[in-house]
Structure 1
Amino acid sequence: MNDLLEHVISAHGGRERWLQIGGLRVEATLHGSFWAVRGFSDEPFEETVTIDTRRELIRFKTFYFGDDGLLRRLDYDVDVNTGVAVAHYVSDYRTFEGIQVPTWRRVHRRNADNSAGENWSIGIDINRVMAV
């Protein structure tokens, strides 16, 4: 494994811990204009999802990490939203079950020059994470 990848995995809880986790149950507060367009409440609402940590959901991604090895931004095209290019910002890391999780997430449309649009449309505030 290369040094950068090892640094990033270590910053997020370490390879051994991640190999022990097959999935995560995430309790979050969702808000933003995206959810209202999809038929959900335009007010913040609570949701619980289970994620298979060994299954890749998005194929083409660009990751941006801080010097501490923690993820700061993730760029990708959203398959469920007709291929819209987005910049997904993350911060406010907390430790859950021995892994580092960014609890504040905001998704912006990405401009042609790869800069993020001014307004975000998806907000996800993670409240609790449990290994499953």
Structure 2
Amino acid sequence: MDPLLESVLEAHGGRQRWAEISTLTARLAVGGPFWGIRGFPDAFLDETLTIAIATRNAALTPWTAPDHTLVADLTHDRVTLRGADGSLVEKRDTPRPSYAGYDLYSPWDRLQVGYFLGYAMWNYLTTPHLLTHPGMVSREIQPWDENGQHWRRLQVTFPATVPTHTAEQVFYFDADGLLRRLDYTVDVNANATVAHYTDGHRTFEGLVFPTRRRVYPRRPDRTRIGPFPARTAAPSPSTSTTSPSSESASDGRLPAGAIATIGPAGEHKVPAEVRPRDGKRTWTT
């Protein structure tokens, strides 16, 4: 394993502590112009996200209706929408091809938005431990200086078996080994190139998460541009908040707090709570 990645894992709580976690649950408030462009302005300001780490499931409740739950089954490459009684409302297999031909301003349907948020949050909340999965290739590259800060960088190649934004990504870490930024291309969003910043790191039951994320367009030289432009005018970044929790084999619960999430041209915070491995909450498609 790359020595930088080894130190980063320790800085975020260590491999042993992560091995004890099976599920992450977070209350999300997701905002920003990105979601309005997709056709869902202010639609996701009070979501509950449940992530099953090993089975790669992400469930979002409520989803576009008070009694609906969206499940992104990343293992079987499927997204479903279900009613409160478990009945199937809508379903799509292999959702990625559905974004073909779209540009940065194309509206998405509710399954496309749910798949995007589901796989993105699964990636964000499992990083940096995700980088140890089989098939991942990582190596340290030249460091980066920005706004008086000096960050070490890890270039990571994701295998096709891991659902993510794009195969090649770069992660930036500060002197304490904490994640401060990640660069990637969003394959499902017209190959938009972004710089994704994280800050406000806090410790929850032994695991360290950032409590805020901000996503900006990025130039070829890796400098950020600012918020994604609207078609007619540049919007201001917007914010959203949430409260964290997760599941561990020890029945431990995280204290109140927030774990950050995503959103080009915006900010949002996400908290997560850790639950026991044998917890009753499961989601199937």
TM tier, smaller: 0.7 to 0.9
The question of 1:91 aligning with 2:235 is answered no
TM-score w.r.t. length of structure 2: 0.42
**Contact kept in structure 2, 1:35 and 1:122, CA below 8 Å:** no
CA drift of 1:37 comes to: 1.2
| Structure-1 separation of matches of 2:47 and 2:196 | 19
Three-state SS of the structure 1 residue aligned to 2:210 is strand
The question of 1:124 aligning with 2:265 is answered no
In the alignment, what sits opposite 1:100? Answer: 208
**Contact kept in structure 1, 2:214 and 2:266, CA below 8 Å:** yes
CA drift of 1:18 comes to: 1.1
In the alignment, what sits opposite 1:9? Answer: 9
Give the counterpart letter for 1:81 in structure 2. Answer: N
Point out where structure 1 has 5 or more consecutive residues left out of the alignment: none
Deviation string 1:48-95 (CA, Å, 9 cap, x unpaired) is 223344554323210000000000000011123122111110000112
| Structure-2 separation of matches of 1:124 and 1:41 | 14
The question of 1:80 aligning with 2:80 is answered no
Give the counterpart letter for 1:110 in structure 2. Answer: R
Work out which of the residue numbers 151, 165, 171 in structure 2 matches 1:63.
171
CA drift of 1:113 comes to: 1.5
Which range moves more in the overlay, 111-120 or 51-60?
51-60
Question: Sequence identity, in percent?
Answer: 44
The Cα RMSD (Å) is 2.1
> Which protein has greater RCO, CA pairs closer than 8 Å, 6+ apart?
1
**Contact kept in structure 1, 2:28 and 2:44, CA below 8 Å:** no
Point out where structure 2 has 5 or more consecutive residues left out of the alignment: 57-161, 228-236, 238-264, 276-285
Greater than 6 Å deviation, 4+ residue runs: none
Structure 1 residues 46 and 80: CA distance shift in structure 2, 3 A: farther
Query: Which is higher, the Rg of structure 1 or of structure 2?
Result: 2
In the alignment, what sits opposite 2:38? Answer: 38
In the alignment, what sits opposite 1:28? Answer: 28
Question: Greater share of strand residues, 1 or 2?
Answer: 1
CA drift of 1:28 comes to: 2.3
